[in-house]
Amino acid sequence: MLAKRIIPCLDVTGGRVVKGINFEGLRDAGSILEQARFYNSELADELVFLDISASIESRKTTLEEVLKVSGEVFIPLTVGGGISSVERAREIFMHGADKVSVNTAAIEKPELISRIAEKYGSQAVVVAIDVKKKEGRHMVHTHSGRKPSTYEAVEWAQMVQELGAGEILLTSMDRDGTQEGYDNDILSKVSTSVHIPVIASGGAGNLEHLYDGFTKGKADAALAASIFHFRQYSIRQAKQYLRDRGITVRL
């Protein structure tokens, strides 16, 4: 059985790591490089770097920050934010990223997923899917959750798989930052509807939530920010907890 992954996430804006609730009310969560160094030493399986205001501000992720982070970590690094072309993806890879995460641009021009996958391989393409529940439907949103699309979560997940995505980062906007646990309902539906890995995101508040994301949500990896950024738990603690409950992890 493949080991389940624990992935801390650096939501970055203005040169700092931030954390909000439901994608709003951002508060400072420390230095980008200090957090990156910490997670590299903490047995994190991967690290995600998301420039959360790039798409809103119609600009590109700061390559200098990506380069600095890539120079500090020796675990797979995924970078997202404002990646709207194969050329931009190339720049991100050239600055040390192992994977790129696309969201807004993928909705606006789905062929971008295929073009990046064809050039760099599906394993290098993560599609971030931000969902918000409305009238019983989990609708996909773009521009850091500010704009609703016409796609439902399962429909879009299956489409991005066919287009060549190697992985899905599924974030519940309703749970983001609340520390009330992942939305295991939609997580399970998406995870069982595709054969590519799905990363759970949005709502982790304790170690049991991670466990539930793997068992109830059928996720392949669990992404978390608040519980790790503010040292509520260490990644080592999380992995030991999961191993003690029968989840295969790398320790």
Where in the sequence numbering do the catalytic residues fall? 11, 130
Q: What is the number of residues in the chain?
A: 251
Q: What is the dihedral of CA 220, 78, 126, 243, to 10 degrees?
A: 0
Q: CA 157 to CA 163: how far, in whole Å?
A: 10
Q: Is 74 exposed, middle or buried (0-12, 13-18, 19+ CB in 10 A)?
A: exposed
Provide the b/e sequence for 216-251 (b: ≥16 CB within 10 Å): bbbbbbbbbbbbbbeeebebeebbebbeeeebebee
Instruction: Give the integer Cα–Cα distance in Å for 51 and 144.
Output: 10
